[in-house]
């Protein structure tokens, strides 16, 4: 069997064992095997996310941090200590990790990234950063990860040490929103949404229900600018009833129909406010808001700043 | 209106009412790349809704959060999108994206730029 097919086989084994965070390393080829690798990697990514969500499909976000590796590096960048999960994730023995340069366990492009990060880190007395690095396992699978790098110094260490913490699940979209919010308003008040967990027993949705609900979701996204019908009419339109629509939508997408609609309207309007010169009133109408004040209020409630504040932000 | 633009990931060209985006060869699209790509596209469009021709033959990889962003935020102000693909890698990239992320705009994939343009001209 060719080397590439062996990697695919290994990856399928890992998926079967419930390890969705491995990837097959990409080559420069453009053939059918490579296409299979592309689909396999993306499939693992999708499963990985839906497993974490426990039922919500395509909810773009809300991921918790789960799998972790950590490394303590000495002043030369060699690994001085690591945790047990590292050995199993990289399928490498503890003794094969300790004393090795950290870069040994990275793929080619990450080696370059790490070299640059290390260079900056060496120049600073104390330093903290995060960088996306891809680790390579002994079986040549790739584990792309978000890494947090911290240097620290203690009274008893004569040399500076570096801690690398590897987090497998973080949420880009939340980060983007937070960054933007920070740059629009400088106040430090933060409010966090509380999550409520329903204790009602779950009703199972069948494939037909899920297909109808996902059609409903597509209809919402495609008609943001139009008036939204009553839930009863909307349910009829997609061939279900109001109860199943309300209950199922929440189960599947983790939010109510109206909240989903509002969020999608706001998401679109935010892009238009931020990246175009269109009048804010025009944007409000394009995204289904009845009046400018209503739009501004909803926008502020969702993002913490008004559309005009976002527009005035210097680029 | 600007009719040419280039960033780290793609070149943008506006001609005959169609915005053509050609991704650079071997490009890897992650979330930050997707944000930049959409931002630069909207900068070129200046609020105008346009049909977009996306030459993705150079794309090597695109991760889940980038796919999600392009399908949601990235669909703003696009009348229709045509993907230029070359079998088999970019072909599976586009069909996976269209099937799982379901961007809310008319989409089709083509092997020839001419056919893609005539599809876009019908919008």
Q: How far is B47 from chain A (nearest CA, A)?
A: 5
Range of the domain at B74: 4-121
Nearest to B22 by CA among B12, B30, B31, B36: B12
Q: What is the pLDDT of residues B85-98, one digit of tens each?
A: 998 999 999 999 99
Average pLDDT over residues B48-66: 94
C-alpha distances (whole Å) from A100 to each of A84, A87, A94, A124 are 16, 13, 11, 23
| Ordered domains of chain A (ranges, CATH) | 3-53 (1.10.8), 68-170 (3.30.450.20), 174-184+201-312 (1.10.10.60)
Q: Considering only the beta carbons, identify the residue of A38, A60, A218 that sits closest to B89.
A: A38
C-alpha distances (whole Å) from A141 to each of A12, A26, A105, A239, B8 are 11, 10, 11, 45, 28
Domain count, chain B: 1
Q: Identify whether the C-beta of residue B120 lies closer than 8 Å to the C-beta of residue B18.
A: yes
β-pair partners for A71: A82, A164
pLDDT for res A31: 92
Q: Taking CB atoms and an 8 Å limit, are A45 and B104 in contact across chains? A: no
How many residues are recorded in chain A?
Answer: 315
Q: How many CB pairs under 8 A join A and B?
A: 82
C-alpha distances (whole Å) from A120 to each of A127, A149, A152 are 9, 12, 15
Q: Taking CB atoms and an 8 Å limit, are A275 and B43 in contact across chains? A: yes
Q: Taking CB atoms and an 8 Å limit, are A222 and B104 in contact across chains? A: yes
Q: Identify whether the C-beta of residue A102 lies closer than 8 Å to the C-beta of residue A120.
A: no
Q: Considering only the beta carbons, identify the residue of A30, A41, A218 that sits closest to B88.
A: A30
Q: Taking CB atoms and an 8 Å limit, are B72 and A35 in contact across chains? A: no
pLDDT for res A195: 47
Q: Considering only the beta carbons, identify the residue of B43, B47, B68 that sits closest to A60.
A: B68
Q: Taking CB atoms and an 8 Å limit, are B96 and A38 in contact across chains? A: yes
Minimal Cα distance from A35: which residue of B? B89
Regarding pTM above 0.90, the answer is: no
Q: Which of residues 191-220 of A touch B (CB under 8 A)?
A: 218
Q: Taking CB atoms and an 8 Å limit, are A272 and B88 in contact across chains? A: no
pLDDT for res A242: 93
Q: Identify whether the C-beta of residue A21 lies closer than 8 Å to the C-beta of residue B76.
A: no
φ, ψ (nearest 5 deg) of residue B100: -90, -30
Mutation site for A-interface testing, chosen from B92, B95, B107 by largest number of A Cβ within 10 Å: B92
Q: Which residue has the higher pLDDT, B50 or A182?
A: B50
Q: How far is B12 from chain A (nearest CA, A)?
A: 16
Within 8 A by CB and 6+ apart from B70, the residues are B34, B37, B38, B62, B97, B101, B103
Residue B39 near chain A (CB below 8 Å) = yes
Mutation site for A-interface testing, chosen from B60, B64, B69 by largest number of A Cβ within 10 Å: B64
Q: What is the pLDDT of residues A243-269, one digit of tens each?
A: 999 998 988 888 899 999 999 999 999
Nearest to A42 by CA among B18, B85, B59, B74: B59
Q: How far does chain A reach from its first CA to its final CA, in angstroms?
A: 54
Minimal Cα distance from B25: which residue of A? A28
For A162, the token pair is: 């570096």
Q: Identify whether the C-beta of residue B13 lies closer than 8 Å to the C-beta of residue B19.
A: yes
Residue A315 near chain B (CB below 8 Å) = no
Percent pLDDT > 70 in chain A is 84
Q: State how far Cα A188 lies from the chain centre.
A: 25
For B101, the token pair is: 């992320």
The yes/no answer to whether this complex scores an ipTM above 0.85 is no
CATH number at residue B14: 3.30.750.24
pLDDT for res B7: 95
Q: What is the pLDDT of residues A102-129, one digit of tens each?
A: 999 999 889 999 999 999 988 887 888 8
Q: Taking CB atoms and an 8 Å limit, are B68 and A278 in contact across chains? A: no
pLDDT for res B84: 97
Q: Considering only the beta carbons, identify the residue of A46, A272, A275 that sits closest to B64.
A: A46
Average pLDDT over residues B59-78: 92
Nearest to A253 by CA among A221, A286, A223, A227: A221
Taking CB atoms and an 8 Å cutoff, what residues of chain B touch A277?
46-47
pLDDT for res A91: 87
Q: Residue ranges of chain A with pLDDT lower than 50? A: 55-59, 61-62, 187-196, 198
Residue A30 near chain B (CB below 8 Å) = yes
Q: Taking CB atoms and an 8 Å limit, are B89 and A267 in contact across chains? A: no
Which H/E stretch holds residue A129? Answer: strand A128-136
pLDDT for res A314: 64
């Amino acid at each position: 069997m060719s080397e590439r097919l062996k990697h695919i086989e290994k990856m399928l084994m890992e998926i079967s064992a419930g390890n969705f965070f491995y990837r097959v390393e990409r080559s420069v080829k453009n053939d059918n095997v490579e296409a299979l690798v592309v689909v396999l990697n993306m499939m693992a990514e999708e499963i990985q996310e839906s497993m974490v969500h426990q039922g919500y499909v395509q909810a773009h976000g809300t991921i918790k941090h789960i799998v972790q590796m950590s490394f303590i590096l000495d002043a030369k960048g060699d690994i001085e200590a690591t945790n047990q999960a590292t050995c199993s994730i990289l399928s490498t023995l503890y003794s094969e990790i300790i004393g090795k340069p950290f870069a040994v366990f990275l793929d080619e492009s990450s080696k370059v990234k790490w070299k640059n990060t290390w260079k900056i880190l060496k120049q600073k007395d104390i330093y903290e950063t995060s960088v996306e690095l891809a680790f390579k396992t002994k079986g040549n699978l790739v584990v792309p990860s978000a890494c947090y790098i911290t240097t620290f110094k203690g009274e008893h260490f004569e040399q500076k040490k570096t801690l690398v913490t590897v987090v497998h699940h973080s949420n880009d979209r939340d980060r983007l929103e937070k960054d933007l919010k920070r740059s629009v308003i400088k106040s430090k008040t933060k409010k966090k949404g509380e999550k409520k967990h329903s204790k009602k027993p779950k009703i199972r949705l069948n494939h037909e229900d899920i297909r109808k609900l996902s059609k409903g979701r597509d209809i919402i996204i495609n008609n943001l600018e139009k008036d939204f019908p009553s839930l009863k009419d909307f349910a009829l339109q997609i061939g279900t009833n109001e109860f199943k629509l309300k209950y199922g939508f929440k189960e599947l997408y983790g939010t109510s129909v109206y909240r989903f609609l509002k969020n999608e309207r706001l998401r679109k309007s935010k892009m238009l406010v931020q990246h175009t010169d269109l009048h804010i009133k025009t944007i409000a109408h394009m995204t289904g808001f009845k009046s400018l004040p209503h739009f501004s209020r909803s926008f502020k409630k969702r993002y913490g700043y008004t559309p005009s504040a976002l527009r005035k932000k210097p680029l | 209106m600007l009719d040419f633009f280039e960033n780290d990931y793609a070149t943008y060209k506006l001609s005959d009412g169609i915005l053509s985006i050609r991704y650079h060869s071997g490009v890897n699209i992650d979330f930050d790349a997707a944000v930049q790509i959409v931002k630069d596209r909207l900068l070129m469009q200046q609020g105008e809704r346009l049909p977009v021709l996306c030459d993705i033959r150079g794309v090597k990889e695109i991760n889940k959060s980038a796919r999600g962003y392009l399908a949601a935020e990235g669909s703003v102000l696009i009348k229709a999108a045509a993907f230029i693909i070359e079998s088999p890698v970019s072909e599976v990239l586009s069909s996976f994206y269209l099937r799982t992320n379901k961007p809310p705009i008319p989409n089709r994939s083509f092997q020839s730029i001419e056919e893609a343009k005539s599809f876009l001209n019908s919008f």
